[in-house]
Structures are given as C-alpha cells and as structure tokens.
Amino acid sequence: MSGMAGDIQFLLWLLLLSNSSSCFGSELDIQCLKTIQQSVIDPKGILKSSWIFDNGTEGFICQFTGVECWHPGENMVFSLDLDSLGLEGQFPQGLENCTSMRVLDLSTNNFSGPIPSDIARKVPDLASLDLSYNSFSSEIPVGISNMVHLNILNLQHNQLSGQIPGQFNVFTQLTQLIVAYNQLSGRIPSALQMFPPSYFAGNQGLCGAPLDDCPRKRKWRRIRVRLPRINDESSIGAAAGFVAGFVVAFYFPHWFIFSRSLHPYIFRIC
Ligand SMILES: *[C@@H]1O[C@H](CO)[C@@H](O)[C@H](O)[C@H]1NC(C)=O
Ligand SMILES: *[C@@H]1O[C@H](CO)[C@@H](O)[C@H](O)[C@H]1NC(C)=O
Ligand SMILES: *[C@@H]1O[C@H](CO)[C@@H](O)[C@H](O)[C@H]1NC(C)=O
C-alpha cells in the first residue's frame, strides 16, 4: 500500500515537474509584467522603482513588489498582489501572458472603467480575483461565469451597476462572492442565496434571498387599481341589463332576439 502511495506521489511530482518545465512561462511572464507596468498609472512610482527588468537572472521577477512565483527561482507568476499601491487607470493590460497566474488582487487602488468583458479569456485559470475598493463601473461581465476555477470573487465597494448575471447559477465552485456596496439591482441568482446578506449589502436595487423579497411587479398594481372601476360600471350595467332583459324576454321574446340595443347587456351578463 505504502509503496503504491509512494509511486503515486512520485508520479504527481513528475507531472508537476514536467508541467512547469513545459510551460516556457519565463518570457511571457516577463512580458506580462512589462505590459502591466506600462498600462497602469502609478502616481507613487512603486512599480516603476521595484519592477526593474534589466536583470536576466532566472527568477528575478519573483523579487518584484506584489509578485509571487510558483518557485522562487523561476520566472513564473503564481499570484499578483497589487493591493493598496495607489494605482489608477483602466483594468491592467497584458495579463494574458501571465498564463500560470492563479491569484489576482487589485484591491484598494483607484482603478476605474469597466471590468473587461473578455476577462475569462485574459485570465481563464484564476482561482481568486479581488477587485474590491476601486472605482470599477459598468456591469459585471457575464463572461466571468466562464472562469470555471474561480473560488473567490470580491467586487465590493466599486460602482458596478446592472444585475448580477444569471449565469452565476452555474458557479458551483464559488466559495465567496462579495458584491457589497455597488449600484447593483435586480434579483440575486438563486445559487448565491447561501451567502450571507452582508455580501450583498449596500446595493439599493438588489433583492431576493438572502436579502428581502423582490417588490411585486407593476402589473399587479395596475389590476388592483382598475378592478373597482370595472366593478362599478359593470355591476350597474349587468344589473340593469339583467332586469331589462328578463322583462323584455318574458313579455316580448321576439324583441329579445332582434333588438341590437340589448346585445351589450347580454354580453355583459354572459
Ligand atoms: C538580479 O536578481 C537577483 C535575484 O533577485 C539578485 O540576486 C541579483 O543581485 C540581481 N542582479 C543584478 C545585477 O541586479
Ligand atoms: C504577450 O507576449 C507576446 C510576446 O512577448 C507579445 O507579442 C504580446 O503582445 C503579449 N500580449 C499582450 C496581451 O500583451
Ligand atoms: C482616487 O482618485 C481621485 C481623483 O481621481 C482622488 O481624489 C482620490 O484621492 C483617489 N483615491 C485614492 C484612494 O487614491
């Protein structure tokens, strides 16, 4: 038994090794960070001073502020943690080339503009995405639901609007989805109702479990307002029609058949 476990362990180790060495991440990962550095506004100069690319030593990017590699001696980004650096501008570019990245944290900066609609193509393998405490606006892209490895998605304290995509219902592996303090509206997808209400707080238009029920639709109101009026008119009309019809039909059955003026009342009664 232990021999077999050892074999499996060895096999996994071999797989990991072959996987990492066959990724050829280095050049792409360096390109990824260069493009990010160029595309974000960095008023405090933190990335400018820390991300110096003229050192070709394998693993040199692993010393950069916010960069964590899979292995310290290999230029392959595992996580990018750029929180609280005073960064501004749009969602960073170049992330496509950080092909081994699993964790992206851009929280507590001043990023603005939309979350890219093709985010699932740019960073398909993320397990954790934290964009909280920025100024991201527009809608939550439906494509986020194609990030099938995503466990943690934190979007709280932005200016996101629109509905939470119904496609979140296919997100069985999400263990955390925080969208509090945005401008979201509409019904919370049913698959997300197991999360605590605090994850959805501060969105005036959001409704449904775990928050309060959604308000009844306008249609109901219209019917309730109009019903009494219909009742008043039709009940008087129907009563008059019934009496008149009864008298006419009883005493003058031939009128009943031919008189057009009685037809509206007959229809009302029926
Ligand atoms: C290059 O980076 C490595 C690892 O961070 C460091 O030890 C070395 O001193 C650097 N070399 C130069 C020339 O900056
Ligand atoms: C990814 O890296 C390649 C090679 O360096 C480069 O040509 C390409 O423009 C990069 N893609 C992005 C989105 O930056
Ligand atoms: C974000 O940017 C606005 C102006 O664009 C500025 O007033 C504000 O102080 C910035 N916030 C942070 C946390 O850097």
How much distance in Å is there from the Cα of 261 to the middle of ligand 3?
76
Average pLDDT over residues 147-164: 96
Q: Which residue, judged by its Cα, is nearest atom 9 of ligand 3? A: 110
The predicted model scores a pTM of 0.73
- The answer to whether the beta carbons of residues 124 and 96 sit under 8 Å apart is no
Say which residue, 217 or 73, is predicted with more confidence. 73
**pLDDT, averaged across the chain:** 81
Say yes or no: CB of residue 53 within 6 Å of ligand 1.
no
Q: How confident is the model at residue 176 (pLDDT cuts 50, 70, 90)?
A: very high
Question: For 8-17, 58-67, 211-220, which range has the lowest pLDDT when averaged over its residues?
Answer: 8-17
Q: Is the pLDDT of residue 217 over 60?
A: yes
82-133 pLDDT, tens digit per residue, is 999 999 999 999 999 999 999 999 999 999 999 999 999 999 999 999 999 9
Say which residue, 228 or 192, is predicted with more confidence. 192
Q: Which residue, judged by its Cα, is nearest atom 3 of ligand 1? A: 60
How much distance in Å is there from the Cα of 54 to the middle of ligand 1?
9
Say yes or no: CB of residue 57 within 6 Å of ligand 1.
yes
Say yes or no: CB of residue 110 within 6 Å of ligand 3.
yes
| Distance separating alpha carbons of residues 73 and 171, to the nearest angstrom | 35
Q: Is the pLDDT of residue 260 over 50?
A: no
How much distance in Å is there from the Cα of 112 to the middle of ligand 3?
11
Say yes or no: CB of residue 86 within 6 Å of ligand 3.
yes
How much distance in Å is there from the Cα of 90 to the middle of ligand 3?
14
How much distance in Å is there from the Cα of 74 to the middle of ligand 1?
13
Q: How confident is the model at residue 56 (pLDDT cuts 50, 70, 90)?
A: confident
Report the pLDDT value the prediction gives residue 23, as an integer from 0 to 100. 46
Q: Residue 218 CA to chain centroid, in angstroms?
A: 26
| Distance separating alpha carbons of residues 74 and 76, to the nearest angstrom | 6
Average pLDDT over residues 230-249: 50
Burial level of 129, CB count in 10 A (0-12/13-18/19+)?
buried
Report the pLDDT value the prediction gives residue 220, as an integer from 0 to 100. 53
Report the pLDDT value the prediction gives residue 173, as an integer from 0 to 100. 84
